Structure 1
Amino acid sequence: MAMVTTVLYAVWHFNRQIPGLRLWTLSYLCGFVFTVVLLLRDQLPEWVSVLLAQGAVGLMGYLCLLGGRAYMGRGRLWHGYGVAAIVLLVGASAYLTVVQPNFGVRFLISSWGSAAFYLLTARILARGGLQAFPVRYLVALSAAVHGVFLLLRPLVFRLGDALAPGVDIVLALPQLIVLESIVALVLIGFGILMLTNEFTTSALRRLAEMDSLTSVFNRRAFLTLLDKALSQARRTESELHVLVIDLDHFKRINDTWGHKCGDDVLRHFVGLAASCLRMEDVMGRLGGEEFAIVLPSANAAGAAAVAERLRALVASQPAMTEHGPITLTVSVGVTQCAVDESSETALQRADQAMYRAKELGRNQVHLQKAPDAVVGV
């Protein structure tokens, strides 16, 4: 436990940007405190060792849960819940140690309380897909197995008591309990260390694929995803449409109010565009003020409707900047992808449609007819 705690602290010290790592380090620090209390229990009054041990175990599980939520980007729990749960666990342990001694019930409450924290941690982490995030699922599995064992642990002691009547149940099957705890917590700890690598790899991939200003895909990543969407459309014989959008007179905004204001306008536009799209739609920034959107499984009428809805929304929602509201308009080109064409060719045709919309007076949607052989026909 001391080794894992030390390594976690060292990793957190140099990677403080990784969400949840600080909480996980504190969790294992509580686990280290618990082991120290166990080593000193013969030198401490029973009620002191029980309260310290139960408090450390409760905090360890709760901080593990908070670390999982932070890593997954989930909102913070109201700390009153965690504090109340730990106070109840410690209070019940104190009552069942000092007032009405009952090791069996005390052990049951302690085990099930800790189990809840680890099972909730497993539930939080088991998201995103096994293939994409295998380490995350490994940690979730370790936490789940540990949680289930904690649920069953009181029954194991009861079994030991039944098989060896008259023998102190604390001594009946201690090796199994200690071994499981060591293995599970070490697995979870080293899984957390592997999660730091997963997070760093994901962050680097995001830097390579995402536009840093608007948080949509950059041109290279967008074209890769468009190629994949074209392949999928060919296999399923479904339609695929591409939109190219350009913000009208954007250079004038930059020249008049500066690039910071222009950046705010771009982010405002992306937020509006995202509200018009489905989960399966893909948006990318091609460069400057030009964006593109892939609409899988959308027919011509549906693609035109999305483009018109986006155009109308942008025109009706000014960007709120430090210089006041700035009214925007966009020109949108729409085209359907052909069976054998490349992503660059489809994008070029949608780009031509966008420029035709500008020629027609801007703040327009123009549909460019695709070649005869189109995907889905």
Structure 2
Amino acid sequence: MVVMTLMLAAAWRFNPRIAGLGAWTLSYFFGLLVCVNLLLRAVAPELLLVLLAQLSAYLMAWLNWVGTRAYVGAAPVPRRYGVLGAVLLLATAAWFTVVQPEQTTRFTLMSLVVGTLFLLCARTIAQGRLQDHPARYLYALASGGHGLFLLLRPWLFRVGNHGLFDAQHAIAVSHLVVVESIVAIVLMAFGIVMLANEQVTLELRRIADRDPLTGVFNRRAFLALLDKGSHYAERMAFPLSVLLIDLDHFKKINDSWGHQLGDRALRHFVTVAQACLRDGDVIGRLGGEEFAIFLPNARLAQAEAIASRLRGALEMQPLRHGEAAIALTASIGVAQRQPQEAPHALLHRADEAMYLAKHKGRNRIELAASSPLPADGTATPALP
């Protein structure tokens, strides 16, 4: 237990931003107190031992659930519920220790409460596709199995013909409980470490895929997503359109106001653009002041409408700098993917339309020619 607690504490120390990891680490600290309680049996009063054991086991399970909910982004459970549960459990334990001594009832209540909390951990982490998240699968299996065992544990300890074990098997049952607890605690700890590692991997992937200035996809990630989207559109016979966008006179903004304001202008454009897009639309920064957006399941007319909404919104929302309002406009090329058209050919048509918009005076939208380039990207020679 000490090793598991130190392992989680180290993971939390180096990854403090991972949601839920702090609560999980604290839960194992209280699990450690359960073990300490066993060492104090010979010297401490019975009531103190009972209350310490009940509170530690409850807090370990409760904090596991709190950590699990935080990890998946679920709404936090109000702390007053946790405090109320602890108070009720301690009051019940004290009653069945001092006023009406009944070890079986006390043991059963604790097993039911703690077991239910671990089952809630499994249910919470299991939301979504477990096969895509092996770490979640391990944690769900360990916490769910442990919770189920805790619910069955009072029945296993029943003595008599109605129980699975009679009195002479009590030692064997005790050994089973100890082994199950050790296995579950180790598996849950490794599951938590794997979950933390999964979050670190996702964060590194996000950093690798995102433009650090604007937060949208960088060129490499955008082209990879466009390639996947194009293959899916081809296979499912769905339309797909692309917007290629260049901010007008951006160099003048940098020269007149400085690069810091130029960076703000890029972020301002992204904010305006994202407000104009649908769920599922993908925006990326190709470089400098050039952006691209691909619109799944959008024909040319719908793509043109989105481009028009974006262009108008940008024109109506200048960048504020003190009392100054810095106008931003964009030239946009729109192209719809044609059957069997390669992604780079689609982008090339949108790029040509965008440069046509610039040539015609900027702050406008141009539609790409409907004839795509061949898949190899070379121009088709004119017929004689």
Q: After TM superposition, is the score higher than 0.5?
A: yes
Do the aligned partners of residues 230 and 97 (structure 1) sit closer, same or farther apart at CA in structure 2, a change above 3 Å counting? Answer: same
* Cα distance, 1:4 vs structure 2: 1.0
Deviations 1:138-187 (A, max 9, x none): 21222222223333333333477733899499868323322222111110
TM-score when scaled to structure 1?
A: 0.87
Do the aligned partners of residues 261 and 122 (structure 1) sit closer, same or farther apart at CA in structure 2, a change above 3 Å counting? Answer: farther
* Cα distance, 1:243 vs structure 2: 1.1
**Aligned partner letter, 1:362:** R
Structure number with higher relative contact order (C-alpha < 8 Å, ≥ 6 residues apart): 1
Q: Which runs of 5+ in 1 are unaligned?
A: none
Higher mean alpha-carbon deviation, 34-43 vs 171-180, is at 171-180
* Cα distance, 1:302 vs structure 2: 1.8
1:99 — aligned with what? 99
Deviations 1:187-245 (A, max 9, x none): 01011222233223222222221112222211011111111111111111121111112
* Cα distance, 1:73 vs structure 2: 4.2
In the TM superposition, 1:86-165 aligns within 5 A as 86-127=86-127, 129-158=129-158, 162-163=162-163
Does the 8 A contact of 2:4 with 2:28 survive in 1?
yes
Deviations 1:262-318 (A, max 9, x none): 333333332333333333322211112221111122122222222222223333334
SS at match of 1:36: helix
Do the aligned partners of residues 197 and 217 (structure 1) sit closer, same or farther apart at CA in structure 2, a change above 3 Å counting? Answer: same
**Aligned partner letter, 2:263:** D
- Aligned equivalents of 1:134 and 1:168: distance in 2? 41
SS at match of 1:283: strand
* Cα distance, 1:30 vs structure 2: 0.9
Q: Does 1:366 align with 2:383?
A: no
Does the 8 A contact of 2:319 with 2:328 survive in 1?
yes
Number of positions where the alignment pairs a residue of Structure 1 with one of Structure 2: 375
* Cα distance, 1:28 vs structure 2: 0.8
- Aligned equivalents of 1:130 and 1:165: distance in 2? 36
- Aligned equivalents of 2:314 and 2:101: distance in 1? 69
**Aligned partner letter, 2:217:** F
SS at match of 2:162: helix
In the TM superposition, 1:7-22 aligns within 5 A as 7-22=7-22
In the TM superposition, 1:331-346 aligns within 5 A as 331-346=331-346
TM-score when scaled to structure 2?
A: 0.86
Over alpha carbons, which structure has the higher Rg? 2
- The percentage of counterpart residues that share the same residue type is 50
Higher mean alpha-carbon deviation, 269-278 vs 203-212, is at 269-278
Q: Does 1:232 align with 2:232?
A: yes
Does the 8 A contact of 1:216 with 1:283 survive in 2?
yes
- Aligned equivalents of 1:82 and 1:242: distance in 2? 51
Report the aligned-residue RMSD. Answer: 3.0
Do the aligned partners of residues 362 and 110 (structure 1) sit closer, same or farther apart at CA in structure 2, a change above 3 Å counting? Answer: farther
Does the 8 A contact of 1:337 with 1:374 survive in 2?
no
- Aligned equivalents of 1:204 and 1:88: distance in 2? 44
Q: Does 1:66 align with 2:61?
A: no
- Aligned equivalents of 2:64 and 2:228: distance in 1? 38
- Aligned equivalents of 2:322 and 2:122: distance in 1? 44
- Aligned equivalents of 1:347 and 1:164: distance in 2? 70
